[in-house]
Structure 1
Amino acid sequence: MKIKVGFGYDVHKLGEGEELWIGGLHVPHSKGSIGHSDGDVLIHAICDALLGAANLRDIGFHFPDTSSHYKGIDSKILLRRTVELIKEKGYEISNIDSSVCLEKPKLKDLIPEMQALLAKVMEIDPEDIAIKATTSEKLGFVGAQEGVTAYASVLIQKPCK
């Protein structure tokens, strides 16, 4: 079995009146992510981790923010395509461990729904997706509620030939 590890990170500025999408869910809040797509930091971090593990470059290479095709796109579509790309190389997802850093709103009650939704998109067991939520203790741009960050580690595998 060939096993590879990937790491992803994403950050988005928060703005008044924008929609906040995290883990494929719309999160009610007065501020939302500003981005070319829907600005879902968690999905973007997972995509980057998967692409990196499979040595397929990064999310910006496959889904450039200079393309009008991806303007406002639902990040679940990008995640589905990312999973297809790693499957084309013979890999399957073993597990994902991720963290979202956001001062407000609190995400803990939404995590099970995010896990179920992401598992469906990636066609894996929700038990194979860990999502943690934290704050930055009011420090930095996250603490000032100016932005949101997400980190993801993934393990992918394929049979040896």
Structure 2
Amino acid sequence: MKIRVGFGFDVHRLVPGRDLWLGGIRLEHEKGLLGHSDADVLIHAICDALLGAANMRDIGYHFPDNSSEFENIDSKILLKKTVALIAGKGYRVGNVDATVCAERPKLKAHIPAMQNILAEVMGVEADDVSVKATTTEKLGFTGREEGISAYATVLIEKD
């Protein structure tokens, strides 16, 4: 069996008037993430990690932010397409370890739902998807609640 590891990172600005989507679920919050799609930073980081592990460039290459096809798209669709892209090279998702960095909203109670939906979209067990949340202790753009970032590491496998 061949295995490969990938790393992804994404960040989006928080703005009023947008829904907040994280890990494939909508969260109640006074601001949402600004982006061409639904701006789900967690899913975008996972997509980049999967594509990187398969040596297939990045999310912007496959789903450009100047394409009307992807405007306001649900990022779960992008994740499903990403899993199909790596499958085209014979890879499947082994596991995901991801961290969301946000001051608010508090994410602890939402993590199981995120794990379940992400696992379903990727076709893996929920136990294969680790989602963690942290803050920056009020430092930087995250601490000032100007944006949210996410990091993801993935393992992909090929028989």
TM range (shorter): over 0.9
Whole-angstrom CA distance in 2 between matches of 1:2 and 1:121? 23
Counterpart mapping for 1:4-153 below 5 A: 4-153=4-153
Whole-angstrom CA distance in 1 between matches of 2:37 and 2:94? 27
Output the amino acid matched with 2:50: L
- Per-residue deviation at 1:16? 1.3
Partner SS, residue 39 of structure 2: coil
Output the amino acid matched with 1:28: E
Output the amino acid matched with 1:104: R
Output the amino acid matched with 1:47: C
Partner SS, residue 4 of structure 1: strand
Q: CA deviation digits over 1:51-109, x for unaligned, max 9?
A: 00001100000000010110000000000000001111111111100000000010000
Whole-angstrom CA distance in 1 between matches of 2:7 and 2:139? 24
Tell me the number of residue pairs that the alignment of Structure 1 and Structure 2 aligns: 159
Whole-angstrom CA distance in 2 between matches of 1:3 and 1:123? 17
- Per-residue deviation at 1:140? 0.2
- Per-residue deviation at 1:32? 0.6
Whole-angstrom CA distance in 1 between matches of 2:137 and 2:4? 33
Q: CA deviation digits over 1:114-138, x for unaligned, max 9?
A: 1001111111000000000011100
Partner SS, residue 145 of structure 1: coil
List structure 1 runs of 4+ shifted beyond 4 angstroms. none
Whole-angstrom CA distance in 1 between matches of 2:73 and 2:93? 24
Aligned-residue CA RMSD (Å): 0.5
Whole-angstrom CA distance in 1 between matches of 2:92 and 2:150? 22
- Per-residue deviation at 1:18? 1.3
Whole-angstrom CA distance in 2 between matches of 1:158 and 1:12? 32
Partner SS, residue 157 of structure 1: strand
| Match status 1:156 vs 2:159 | no
**Identity %, equivalent residues:** 63
- Per-residue deviation at 1:17? 2.0
Output the amino acid matched with 2:75: S
Aligned to 2:2: 2
TM-score, normalised via structure 2 length: 0.99
Whole-angstrom CA distance in 1 between matches of 2:54 and 2:141? 32
